[in-house]
């Protein structure tokens, strides 16, 4: 953390952007449970994909700095939740 980061945090606190959490441990526990359930990957699928598409996925993942399997999972999640749109802003799901 550098001085600019610290200055931003102090300004954020002083401007009232932060709220006191009365029962921090209970809130933390709830949030950790939700994160754990959201991130859990408990089902495996096998899909045949063209080599060209896999190479393109790997390239995109490398650009994003994430494993390509994580990128595929993210794309699938966005599709099934209706958050994946094409360039004309139509919902693909």
The residue among 3 and 86 whose pLDDT is bigger is 3
pLDDT of the residue at 93:
53
Tokens for 85? 């749109």
Domain positions in the chain are 44-93
pLDDT at 89 exceeding the cut of 80: no
64: Cα separation from own chain's centroid: 12
Give the long-range contacts of residues 65-69, CB within 8 A, separation 24 or more: none
């Amino acid at each position: 953390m550098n001085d600019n980061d610290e200055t931003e945090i102090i300004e954020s606190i002083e401007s009232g952007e932060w709220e006191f959490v009365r029962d921090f441990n209970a809130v933390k526990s709830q949030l950790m449970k939700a994160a754990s359930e959201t991130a859990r990957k408990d089902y495996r699928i096998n899909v045949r994909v063209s080599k060209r598409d896999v190479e393109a996925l790997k390239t995109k993942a490398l650009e994003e700095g994430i494993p390509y399997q994580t990128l595929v999972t993210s794309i699938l999640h966005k599709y099934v939740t209706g958050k994946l749109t094409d360039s004309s802003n139509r919902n693909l799901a």
